Structure formats: C-alpha cells, structure tokens
Amino acid sequence: MRRILIIDGHPDCRTERYVHALSKAYCDGARSAGHKVESIIVSELEFPLLRRGEDFQSGEPPAVIRRCQEQIAWAEHLVILYPLWLGSMPGLLKAFFEQVLRPGFAFAPARGRGFQKKLLGGRSARIFVTMGMPALFYRWYFRAHSLKTLERNILAFCGIAPVRASLIGMVEAMDSVQRGRWLARAQAFGVEAR
C-alpha cells in the first residue's frame, strides 16, 4: 500500500474537463487497491504569484501552500495532471510549483561550488498531459520540451524519481470509446500506484 498525492493542475475547475475525469479514474483505481490517496486541486487554491527572487528564496509561504507541502511530504508517489497550453503547463500550475517547491522544502541550496541537496528523494511520479495535437507530434517534433522541463528541471531537481509520463493527444477529437480507454488506463495505473 502506497501514499499517493494527486495534483490536478487544470486551471478550470469545471467538472467536464477531461483532466478531472482522469484524476478521478486514477484515484478510484488507487483506492480500490487499498492505497491511501489525497488530492490537491490547483484551481481551487487561492495563493499569490511570486514576483521577486527574494520571496522564493526566503519568503514565508502562505498557509494553503504550507498545507500542500505537508501533503507532498506525506506522499510516496505524486500524480500530476494538466492540459498542454501554449506548449507548456498552464501558468497557474507553474505558479503553484514555484510556491510549493521552495528552498528548504524541496531542495537545500548549494554551498560553494557543490550541487543542491535534493530533499524530496524517495518519491516517484506519474504525469498525465492532455493536448489538442497528436501526442507523437508533441513528443518527436517538439521533443516534449515542457514535459522534460517538469521531469528533469523541476521534479528530478528536488529528488523525485522515477518519473513516468502519459501523453494524451487529440483530446478534443476523441470519441467516448477512446476517452474510456484512457480512463481505464489511468485507473489501472492507480491500482498499480505507478
């Protein structure tokens, strides 16, 4: 049994968004297998944008962000879901990561010429990205640039590994059968906690 935190990063809280259905399917699968599951729905959080480097480095996170940090510290496996907007994650999700993955919580700044200390080691992650273009086109033509940024420059920087990704392309053109297949796949990933 694993402790799983689902981070639903769609900035639109309306329930008809496919990311929310994927999140629920993963959660249902994980709970059916006996895993402990908590969720963060980023669209429901109220927090300020960070505007200065000093605020990121040494500012006090708001209470809602501290609660999210507690959930991340509790989790053994993170599930991050978001739609691809302008080739990357939506700004609200990026702002969330800037707030929550601060020095002293996610990593310890480097001393001298050494590397930073990764403070979130021992956790794995699964990323679901939905998009309007074909997933293979995003992966091979655009080289999944923004996904690699999240995997390597954000999660791995904090010690989270391994990170697996599911790219779901042509979401707007999918029929109910295709959507159902992806929901079943997300549920199976939840059962396996991967």
b/e string for 46-55 if b means 16 or more Cβ within 10 A?
ebeebeeeeb
Query: Which range (39-48, 90-99, 111-120, 155-164) has the least confidence?
Result: 111-120
Nearest-10 crossing angle of helices 63-74, 91-100: 80
Q: Is the overall model pTM greater than 0.85, yes or no?
A: yes
SS3 19: helix
> What average pLDDT score do residues 124-133 get?
98
**Contacts of 185 by beta carbon, 8 Å cutoff, 6+ apart:** 166
Number of domains in the chain: 1
Note the pLDDT tens digit of each residue in 146-169.
Answer: 999 999 999 999 999 999 999 999
pLDDT at position 115: 83
Domain span holding position 19: 3-108+115-192
pLDDT at position 81: 98
Q: What is the CATH number of the domain that holds 174?
A: 3.40.50.360
Note the pLDDT tens digit of each residue in 18-35.
Answer: 999 999 999 999 999 999
> What average pLDDT score do residues 135-155 get?
95
pLDDT at position 124: 98
Q: Which of 16, 18, 20 is nearest to 8 (CA)?
A: 20
